[in-house]
Chains A and B, each alone.
Chain A
């Protein structure tokens, strides 16, 4: 079996009286697509925030590729190969699609205290970024400003920026948020091409997306992981059905 690339132990975070992460235990294996599902308010966003390094847990630890990264900041984790996409589209609106991805490439290609040479003239950055844009189907939109891309294209750009640093683990926060049916199918197809080659943690509401992509699923309810397993195991788990899936999967 593949080894675990991410191990979360006893992760706990509360906001006042609200226990948003309650002793979370999670193992993600190298190469798998691991979905985290749960009803609204289950603490998915808080969990993602702690995995990405934007939120500090009160207790517990996050180990990435065997190393304790609990104390590292978001940017340090990103440089170690833990990339994320955002639920609410978060791109550089005034930069072109290519420049958006070039910046993400730049973050992983040497230092950036360089003051003289124009970044856009660095051929290595350009070609790497163009390659990533092709990968997500935005090759023809390289010069379009982020702000004028269609919503589906912006979501794809989100994925491209996460991909650009050649990460070891991608945290995708609701990649189909706000998408129509057709765009959703396109995003599923895109994520399917990444699957296997990349380790992915997929936080998602859309059950079609989850069950068509996930190798394993963890179910988060009231800040606790109540079950982890293959899609078939999760479907059959009575506790999961009672707590969450009930009407959606039983039907």
Chain B
């Protein structure tokens, strides 16, 4: 598929997403506004994971950590009466980047199964830290006293405005991601995934590039965490549950690793399916599981591979 056709397909997708609020209002179904906003928040998180998992080959099994850090940054500031959205979100991004720097600096010295286990272990540590802090509700979590406030810019209590803000951030993240993976930096992390020995032999030491990618991915996911806590109005350590990390990985793999639009498709497919099946039967996971297995077996390049077929 040519890049022009690809752009057209993406534009249609965006138009459809932009049409959700008026259509939901028309049919008086605000639930869908809520559902699609949630899906887009996860699409942002999955897109950030795709940068390191799909393009960098770093199988992080702890990406939910940054959803948690971002969520706690907003929730804790709100708990102490700081509702300024700029401050909250800046802290969410900054703290996530810092946590990613620490986790990445240690875990990127390993590879393969060790890397997977170390990223998981770090996230579990943060999860149990969240559970243990009674001040912030322990494992029950706590209500967000107020959504982040952006006085004079946007009111997150306005469901439509919040929706379009999330959509705009998603588009921005995808656009920046697209620039990044084709830049010099992006070429190096892709090269290091494809053939590490060769990458060293031509003169690149992969570690600093991987670490930078890891930090960028963490920071973006931290922003998704800030969005998520505003979406749910509730802060809970469950943001960081390891099953959440698994879901993010699944969105990336299902949607298509190493494709900019892939994680968005993956997030939509997984969460819509979950919604559809859970309305149908309480044993929906029994149906979802095999579907996921089949999709991995038969769509190696994910949904993006089916839709944006490359003609080479």
Chain A residues within 8 Å of B203, by CB: 75, 78-79, 104, 107-108, 165
Give the nearest-CB partner of A117 in chain B: B183
Contact B191 A103 (CB under 8 A): yes
- Minimum distance in angstroms from A127 CB to a CB of chain B: 16
Q: Is A52 an interface residue (CB 8 A)?
A: yes
Within 8 A of A (CB), among B188-234: 188, 190-191, 194-195, 197-205, 209, 212
Chain B residues within 8 Å of A165, by CB: 202-203
Q: Please, how many angstroms separate the alpha-carbon atoms of A122 and B203 in the complex?
A: 19
Q: A16-24, A31-39, A92-100, A181-189: which lies at the B interface?
A: A92-100
Cross-chain contact of A90 among B184, B188, B198 (Cβ < 8 A): B198
Q: Is B158 an interface residue (CB 8 A)?
A: no
Chain B residues within 8 Å of A112, by CB: 184-185, 187-188, 204, 209
Q: 19 A-B residue contacts at CB 8 Å? A: A73-B205, A75-B203, A78-B201, A83-B201, A92-B194, A93-B194, A103-B199, A103-B202, A112-B185, A115-B179, A115-B180, A116-B183, A118-B182, A118-B183, A119-B184, A120-B182, A161-B198, A164-B202, A165-B203
Cross-chain contact of B195 among A73, A91, A116, A145 (Cβ < 8 A): A91
Chain A residues within 8 Å of B199, by CB: 75, 103
Q: Is A84 an interface residue (CB 8 A)?
A: yes
Q: Is B135 an interface residue (CB 8 A)?
A: no
- Minimum distance in angstroms from A98 CB to a CB of chain B: 12
Given A90-B195, A119-B183, check contact A113 B204 (CB 8 Å). Answer: no
Q: Please, how many angstroms separate the alpha-carbon atoms of A145 and B212 in the complex?
A: 28
Chain A residues within 8 Å of B201, by CB: 52, 74-75, 78, 83-84, 86, 90
Given contact pairs A75-B201, A83-B201, A114-B183, a sample of 7 additional A-B residue pairs in the complex whose CB atoms are under 8 Å apart: A79-B203, A90-B195, A90-B197, A93-B194, A103-B188, A116-B179, A116-B183
Chain A residues within 8 Å of B188, by CB: 103, 106, 112
Give the nearest-CB partner of A145 in chain B: B312
Given A75-B203, A75-B204, check contact A115 B183 (CB 8 Å). Answer: yes
Contact A107 B205 (CB under 8 A): no
Given A86-B198, A92-B195, A115-B185, check contact A75 B205 (CB 8 Å). Answer: yes
Q: Please, how many angstroms separate the alpha-carbon atoms of A94 and B55 in the complex?
A: 12
Q: Is A134 an interface residue (CB 8 A)?
A: no
- Minimum distance in angstroms from A142 CB to a CB of chain B: 14
Q: Please, how many angstroms separate the alpha-carbon atoms of A113 and B186 in the complex?
A: 9
Q: Please, how many angstroms separate the alpha-carbon atoms of A113 and B185 in the complex?
A: 5
Cross-chain contact of B204 among A92, A107, A115 (Cβ < 8 A): A107
Cross-chain contact of B187 among A73, A103, A116 (Cβ < 8 A): A103
Q: Is A54 an interface residue (CB 8 A)?
A: yes
Cross-chain contact of A94 among B194, B202, B204, B209 (Cβ < 8 A): B194
Q: Please, how many angstroms separate the alpha-carbon atoms of A119 and B186 in the complex?
A: 9
Cross-chain contact of A54 among B182, B197, B204 (Cβ < 8 A): B197
Q: Please, how many angstroms separate the alpha-carbon atoms of A89 and B203 in the complex?
A: 18
Cross-chain contact of A106 among B187, B195, B205, B312 (Cβ < 8 A): B187
Within 8 A of B (CB), among A59-110: 73-76, 78-79, 83-84, 86, 90-95, 99, 102-104, 106-108
Q: Please, how many angstroms separate the alpha-carbon atoms of A76 and B208 in the complex?
A: 14
What sequence of 0s and 1s flags, for each residue 145-186 of chain A, a beta carbon within 8 Å of any chain B beta carbon?
A: 100000000000000010011000000000000000000000
Give the nearest-CB partner of B189 in chain A: A112
Q: Please, how many angstroms separate the alpha-carbon atoms of A119 and B183 in the complex?
A: 5
Contact A91 B198 (CB under 8 A): yes
Contact A114 B200 (CB under 8 A): no
Contact A75 B185 (CB under 8 A): no
Within 8 A of B (CB), among A106-140: 106-108, 112-120, 122
Chain B residues within 8 Å of A117, by CB: 183-184
Contact A78 B312 (CB under 8 A): no
Which of A75, A112, A116 has the largest count of B CB atoms less than 10 A from its CB? Answer: A112
Chain A residues within 8 Å of B180, by CB: 115
Contact A114 B182 (CB under 8 A): no
Q: Please, how many angstroms separate the alpha-carbon atoms of A103 and B195 in the complex?
A: 12
